[in-house]
Amino acid sequence: MDKRNKTVIIISVLCAFAGIIFSVAIICGIYLTKNDVNPSNDATVISAEGNTDVHESEIQQITPTADITGGTDVVDSDTAGTADSAEKFGDIKEGEQDDDPDSKTTAVQIKELPYFPLEVVNEQVIIGRSGWLFYAGKNNVESYNGSNLMSDEELEKCAETLAELTEVGKACNKEIRFMVCPEKEAIYPEYYPTVDMYSEKTRADIVYEYMQGYPDVYYIYPKQALIDEKRNLQLYYTYDSHWNSAGGYIGAKELLSTLDIHMDDIKNMRVRRVVSLSGDLLLLGNMSGDDNKKDVDFDLGYKPDTEIISAPETHAVEQTADYITDAKDDRHFVMVGDSFNVQMMNYICREYAHCSFVHAMMINGKEARNMISDADILVLETVERNLGDLPAYADSIRRQLEAD
């Protein structure tokens, strides 16, 4: 065999060998793809310190509401809350519903999220996963991770103070209610950064459980109702510390149910998505205000036939607001609280002919005191981070009622 023929044979053998290797590689690739073997997915199984690369898809596996933000177009839905209508809002996709009907995001799932560092801007704004923002002031992190629980003495003092106001209210023919509005991170912990947890229950959780031992005191903490509803609509703003109109509706629904008023489930209502005007965290963080146009809010069209006879043209949060409507219930409803009552006003004022909303900072003002004295129904509301102030406000109102 001459040299030329040997060369041809060697080249042929090498080509054949290369073809075999290429075929094996193709077969392995198909097998790996079919069995979804992807080392990058390991981060979604258990958190690893230092892994800060969180992808949107990793959040969506836990809560389908991650994609609800974006766009300012108005969307109409006659069946809001169903799987069909939720697809229009982009919040629920087939196969992503949680097996646990009582909670969209379990504690185990939160622990298994990829590590995401705690970053605070201007000492007031926390940068969360998927661009969500959270309020950092007033010991919010400590409230979230359970490091600021009340002592037994503080729990007892809080409960006794609320019970005393309840008794004084009965003597004055006033129905008294106490309401604590959950923090954004209590409902959407899946977007919160990774922090050390000191307790499985927060201060608000423990106070709520403790108050169950006082059956004569109406104490509303609508955390579970919000968690149950969040699979259908986004309930808190992405770039603001407050709940949106849908979250406010759930809060009002839970509150008014203790006053024998039935508000329909959102899934049975006509819901329109509207342009958001939120964004307090953007301002606190000196961030772009344009992002609030991408935020999520809704018009639920609640009782449109109720005529608003008089209402404030504009309402600064730290003032009083008075509403007169043609609602059939002519009792005077008064809520003393904070900015979380703003998204409840539009629903409550359509149930009572006279509604007044008083910021807690104005509690000792003449106008506020007159409203409290005239109230048939008196609600003392506070957001979770100000829970420690609730007994002081209750005690102040009790002393006023006793002096009247």
The pLDDT tens digits of the residues spanning 124-153 come to 999 999 999 999 998 899 999 999 999 999
Q: Are residues 157 and 28 in the same domain?
A: no
Q: How far apart are CA 362 and CA 342, in angstroms?
A: 15
Can you tell me the mean pLDDT for 259-285? 92
Domain annotation covers residue 127: no
d(C-alpha 233, C-alpha 236), whole Å: 9
Instruction: Answer for the pair 39, 53: CB distance below 8 angstroms, yes or no.
Output: no
384, containing H or E segment: none
Largest interatomic CA distance in the chain:
121
Query: Given the structure tokens 């965290």, which residue do they identify?
Result: 281
| Residue 120 falls inside a structural domain | no
- pLDDT bin (cut points 50, 70, 90) of residue 382 is very high
Q: What is the mean pLDDT of residues 209-227?
A: 98
The CA-based angle 145-151-155, given to 5 degrees, is 105
Whether 82 maps to a domain, the answer reads no
For residue 355, tell me if it sits in a domain: yes
Distance, CA of 27 to CA of 30 (rounded, Å): 5
- pLDDT score, position 25: 45
Based on the structure, what is the number of domains in the chain? 2
Residue 358 structural domain:
133-403
Q: Which two tokens stand for residue 309?
A: 């006879």
Q: How far is CA 335 from the centre of its chain?
A: 21
Question: Residue 321 forms beta bridges with which residues?
Answer: 357
Distances (CA, A) of 279 to 26, 135, 166, 296, 357: 51, 11, 36, 11, 22
- pLDDT for the residue 185: 97
Q: Say whether both 152 and 277 belong to one domain.
A: yes
Would the pTM of this model clear 0.95, i.e. be above it? Answer: no
Residue 103 domain flag: no
Q: Do 13 and 157 share a structural domain? A: no
Same domain, 221 and 334: yes
The tokens of 243 are what?
A: 């709940």
The C-alpha atoms of residue 154 and residue 36 are separated, in whole angstroms, by: 53
Q: Name the CA dihedral angle for 331, 332, 338, 341, rounded to a multiple of 10 degrees.
A: 40
Q: What is the pLDDT of residue 1?
A: 52
Does residue 275 share a domain with residue 149?
Answer: yes
Is residue 384 included in any domain, yes or no?
Answer: yes
173: alpha, beta or left, given left = phi > 0 and alpha = psi -120 to 50?
left
Average pLDDT over residues 154-158: 97
Please tell me whether residues 306 and 189 are part of one structural domain.
yes
Domain membership flag for residue 118 = no
| H-assigned helices in 220-375 | 223-229, 245-257, 280-284, 342-348, 366-374
Are 154 and 285 in the same domain?
yes
Whole-number pLDDT of residue 17: 52
User: How many angstroms separate the first and last alpha carbons of the chain?
Assistant: 121
The Cα–Cα gap between 321 and 235 comes to 24
The yes-or-no verdict on residue 97 having pLDDT over 50 is: no
* For range 190-199, the mean pLDDT: 95
Q: What is the mean pLDDT of residues 295-306?
A: 94
Nearest residue to 390 via CA among 154, 224, 139, 149: 154
260 and 375 inside one domain: yes
Indicate if 138 and 32 belong to the same structural domain: no
Within 13 Å of residue 49, how many CA atoms lie on the same side as its CB?
A: 2
159 with 29, same domain: the answer is: no
How far is the C-alpha of 159 from the C-alpha of 166, rounded, in Å?
A: 11
Q: Give a yes or no: residue 374 inside a domain.
A: yes
What percent of the chain has pLDDT above 90?
Answer: 64
Angle at CA 47, nearest 5°, toward 45 and 49? 150
Q: Are residues 144 and 33 both part of a single domain?
A: no
- What integer pLDDT is reported at residue 196 of this predicted model? 93
Q: Residue 313 — very low, low, confident or very high, per pLDDT cuts 50/70/90? A: confident
Give the amino acid at 379: V
Kindly state whether residues 28 and 138 are assigned to the same domain.
no
> In 3-state terms, what secondary structure has residue 353?
strand
Residue 109, Cα to own-chain centre: how many angstroms? 18
Least confident of 52-56, 258-262, 282-286: 52-56
Q: Which residue has the tokens 């808190």?
A: 236
